[in-house]
Each structure stands twice: as structure tokens, then as C-alpha cells.
Amino acid sequence: MLDLPLTPRATADLAGVTVSFADRAALVGVDVSIASGAVTVITGPNGAGKSTLLEVLGGTRAMTSGIRTVRGAVAFVPQRAAIPVGLPVSVRDVVSVGAWGRLGLWRRMDATARELIERSMERLEIRALAREPFSSLSGGQQQRALLAQGLARDADLLLLDEPTTGLDASSARRIRAVLREESARGVAVVCVSHDPAVIGDADCTIPLLDGRVRVGA
């Protein structure tokens, strides 16, 4: 991987990124610049390469070729948590993972981190559920908790995969509002979405088709 200067106001730059699997190319020569203080939505049909692009930005997917440059901390909010139903973790435990990601596993949780955890839950309107088992929450509540975990990371680049899919209207509205609040703070927010409301709120979109950015779309 090569390190190149970021473009002005960019939190992440990808240049000529290709990701190939055994039988196909998921991304082909993708060039994107992700602006700080903006909500960017990756759009396109199923199989277009949206999730792969998000994973490359997050550093969790190896590139076959190309250049990835990212400034600052990254938080990745999945669509659903891979937490076993019987695992005895509370909502606060789940949200706290974000703060541990910021501090490092072997550092003591300080007052600033604890306040960030509480504030993140409050912003997602789940503070009253802090002691409840995560597995007992509704889908919308779980997604709010996962976003609160991402906020507790206090990242410069916030990545989300289909953050409002299948959620009740109230949860979807709260999540969209928080994404806008984060961009107003200067965070670069990037999400994959088919939700017209999320796309309508975006400052910019990256339309993909067959692993390529659709120029002029």
C-alpha cells in the first residue's frame, strides 16, 4: 500500500482500487474521495460492490491493487450484530466496545470515555436500556446500540452498512438525524443504503454498477 497526500478536506482517498475474488472482480479501478463533514451514500443494485467498497474504506478487505489513504480513526457499524443470543452482554457492554477501540484494550476506562459512552446512548435514545440484555432488544433498538458503539469510537470516518434497513420509522429517523449531526461535527460519514430517505439526506452519492463507479449517474 502506498501513502499519498489526501485531497483537500478528504478523510479517505481510494485510487485505482481493484478487488478480485477467484471467479470475479468485485471492484474495478475505483477512484473516490470521501469528504470530512459530509454524508456520502454508496448506492447501486445488489452485487454492485457496495459492501466491498465499504470494507476497503474500513481496512477490513484486502485490495488486489490500488492505493488507500485514510486519515484518523475509523468506526464500522454493521447492519446486524454477530452476538450469540445467549451471550450475557448488556447494551452498555456493546456500546463500550467502541470506547475500548479508541483507548486500546489494556488502558483503563477513564471519565472521558465513560461520558462518551453515556452520551452516545443518550443520543440514540437507548440510555434507559443500558442494563438490558442486548439480545432482548428489538431490531431497531439493536441497530441504535450498534451506532452508539460507533459513536463511542469518536472516529473521523464513520462507516455504516444499510443502517436503516428493516427498522421501524422512529429508529430510522433517529439514526438519520444522528448521521447528520456527526457530519456537522466534521466527521466523514459513509453508508451503503437502498433507503430513499437516507439517499435523499446525502451530501453526495457514489453510484456503483458491476464494481465500477457510474460516471455521470
Q: What is the percent of the chain where pLDDT is above 70? A: 88
Beta bridge partners of 206: 42
Sign of the four-CA dihedral 89, 146, 55, 153: negative
Higher pLDDT, 159 or 85: 159
Instruction: Indicate the pLDDT class of residue 29, thresholds 50, 70 and 90.
Output: very high
Arithmetic mean of pLDDT over the chain: 88
Which SS3 state, helix, strand or coil, does residue 27 take?
Answer: strand
CATH no., domain 10-72+202-213: 3.40.50.300
Q: Which residues of 168-205 are buried (b: 16+ CB within 10 A; e: fewer)?
A: eeebbebbbebbeebbeeebbbbbbbebeebeebbeeb
| Residues forming a β-bridge with 30 | 17
Model confidence at 7, pLDDT cuts 50, 70, 90, reads: very low
CATH for 75-198, options being 3.30.160.70, 1.10.3720.10, 3.40.50.300, 3.30.70.20: 3.40.50.300
- The answer to whether residue 105 scores a pLDDT higher than 90 is no
Q: What is the spatial distance between Cα 98 and Cα 147, in angstroms, rounded to a whole number?
A: 9
Residues in the chain: 217
Domain boundaries, the chain: 10-72+202-213, 75-198
